[in-house]
Amino acid sequence: MDIKLLFRLRMKRRWRQWQAFRKRRQLRTVVDRTRAIAPDDILIFTTLRNERVRLAYFLRYYRDLGVRHFLMVDNDSTDGSREYLAAQPDVSLWTTKSGYRQSRYGVDWLNHLARKYGCGHWCLTVDVDEFIVYPFSDTRPLRALTDWLDSSNLRTFSAMILDMYPKGPVTAQPYHDGQNPFEIAQYFDSGNYSIQRNWFMENLWIQGGPRMRMFFADQPEKAPALNKIPLVKWDPSIVYVDSTHMVLPRGLNRVFDEWGGEKASGCLLHAKFLDTFAAKAAEEMERGQHYANSQEYRAYQENLARQPDLWCKFSEKYINWRQLEILGLMSKGNWA
């Protein structure tokens, strides 16, 4: 192996750890219930900003899957998200006014919290608009999956982002508190994903879906990455590098088989395209706190002004995880 390469990776990992440690000061505790965490509990790590209307369903979805504790960072919400979360019995909440971008889009904060509270636990790092589905998620709780991963000596689990969208303009059907967002955003792109291998970080780089099709058709290389590794059995050596797209040490990014077989994987259903999206895009543009100068949001805004319909006649209507597995978006691997 190339010593120089390994050294670079090591430095990269150490740097991220240092950044996480340094930025712990930016977090102010709102409510700390981490003493209630039992040794085997599955934990969720999230940062959010002004997502009040989504929270009820988010918490319910993951509680039903068997998540026992939510560790959340509120990035200066003004819509009551903070107060709502602080009142939940299984939420530990921190707040910060610091920049989202300067914290590597929240990764530094979450790296710090995961290292402090997540070691030895299965940690699921998701945004409040991301909902995990995995093989058998309708009949087996998350604990069944993590037990199986443990017994297979696997420490990470891959779940690609699947952008969900409604038929018609995103603003046509308003989303209300507590509602299942996929009653509105029912559709997804089933087979237009571009995959490349990143040899440095050993992960796959996946792009595509409605965002590439609609907003980045002229500059596909700028389309957002969809590969994610949200479920990790945390230990002190681990850091997320770039959102949850990749982890270090890089061996943990090997969530795919390269000799023809399929490993088990899931999907993160992404409920971004609801009526809340237009307001969000406008706000984020102004703050300029998102990836690559909020380029993504700029592209959306230019297009959203024209009230585009992400739906096309080849859009697939979501049914269940089995459908996703048949379409080849996720796999059961050897879990049966």
Partner 1 sequence: MTVGFVILYHTALHRAAQVARYWAERDCPVVIHADRRVKKADYDGLIRALEDLRNVRFSDRFVCEWGTWGIVAAAQAASSVMLAEFPGVRHVYLASGSCLPLRPVEELRAYLDSRPKTDFIESVTTEDVGWTVGGLNLERFTLRFPFSWRRQRRAFDAYVALQRKVGFRRRMPPGIVPHLGSQWWCLTRQTLSAILENPDRAEIDRYFRKVWIPDESYFQTMVRQFSANVESRSLTLSKFDFSGKPHIFYDDHLQLLRRSDCFVARKIWPDADKLYQTFLGPKLDTAAQAEPNPGKIDRLFSKAVERRTKGRAGLYMQSRYPRENFENGRTAAPYSVFEGFSELFENFEIWLGKIANTRAHGHLFAPDRAHFAGGETVFTGAMSDSAAIRDYNPKSFLTNLIWNTRGERQCFQFGPGDTQDLSWFMAGDPNAQISVISGAWAIPLFHSNRNFSDIRREAARLQKIESEHIGILRSPWTKARVRIWTLSEFVENPMEPLQAVIDEIAPRSGRRLTEAPRLADLKGFGQFLQNLRNQGMQPVLMGDFPADEVPANPNARRGRPYLVK
List of residues contacting partner 1 (CB under 8 A): 136, 139-141, 143-144, 147-148, 151-152, 158-160, 189-197, 204, 206, 208, 210, 212-213, 216-221, 227, 255-265, 312-316, 328-336
Least distance from partner 1 to the Cβ atom of residue 115, Å: 25
Least distance from partner 1 to the Cβ atom of residue 111, Å: 23
| Contact (CB, 8 A) for 77 and 100 | no
Q: Which is nearer to partner 1, 99 or 141 (CB)?
A: 141
What is the enclosing helix (H) or strand (E) of 296? helix 291-304
Q: Which residues pair with 130 in a beta bridge?
A: 270
Q: Which is nearer to partner 1, 12 or 254 (CB)?
A: 254
Q: Which is nearer to partner 1, 107 or 225 (CB)?
A: 225
DSSP 3-state assignment of 199? coil
Cα distance between the two ends of the chain: 36
Q: Which residues pair with 197 in a beta bridge?
A: 204
Q: Which is nearer to partner 1, 255 or 274 (CB)?
A: 255
CA distance 284 to 288: 6
Least distance from partner 1 to the Cβ atom of residue 316, Å: 8
Least distance from partner 1 to the Cβ atom of residue 83, Å: 35
Q: Which is nearer to partner 1, 239 or 324 (CB)?
A: 324
Least distance from partner 1 to the Cβ atom of residue 91, Å: 24
Report in angstroms the alpha-carbon separations of 226 from 4, 40, 291.
Answer: 29, 29, 14
Q: Which is nearer to partner 1, 2 or 218 (CB)?
A: 218
By C-alpha distance, which of 206, 184, 165, 182 is closest to 312? 165
CA 306, 309, 314, 320 torsion: positive or negative?
A: positive
Q: Which is nearer to partner 1, 71 or 330 (CB)?
A: 330
Q: Which is nearer to partner 1, 85 or 142 (CB)?
A: 142
| Contact (CB, 8 A) for 115 and 311 | no
Least distance from partner 1 to the Cβ atom of residue 274, Å: 19
CA distance 62 to 57: 9
The pairing of strands 193-198 and 203-208 is antiparallel
Report in angstroms the alpha-carbon separations of 21 from 10, 16, 122, 124.
Answer: 16, 9, 21, 20
Least distance from partner 1 to the Cβ atom of residue 221, Å: 6
Q: Which is nearer to partner 1, 251 or 288 (CB)?
A: 251
Least distance from partner 1 to the Cβ atom of residue 118, Å: 22
Q: 15-33 burial string, b = 16+ CB within 10 Å, else e? A: ebbebbeebeebbeebbeb
Q: Which residues pair with 331 in a beta bridge?
A: 265
CA distance 153 to 106: 29
Least distance from partner 1 to the Cβ atom of residue 319, Å: 16
| Contact (CB, 8 A) for 103 and 33 | no
CA distance 20 to 104: 10
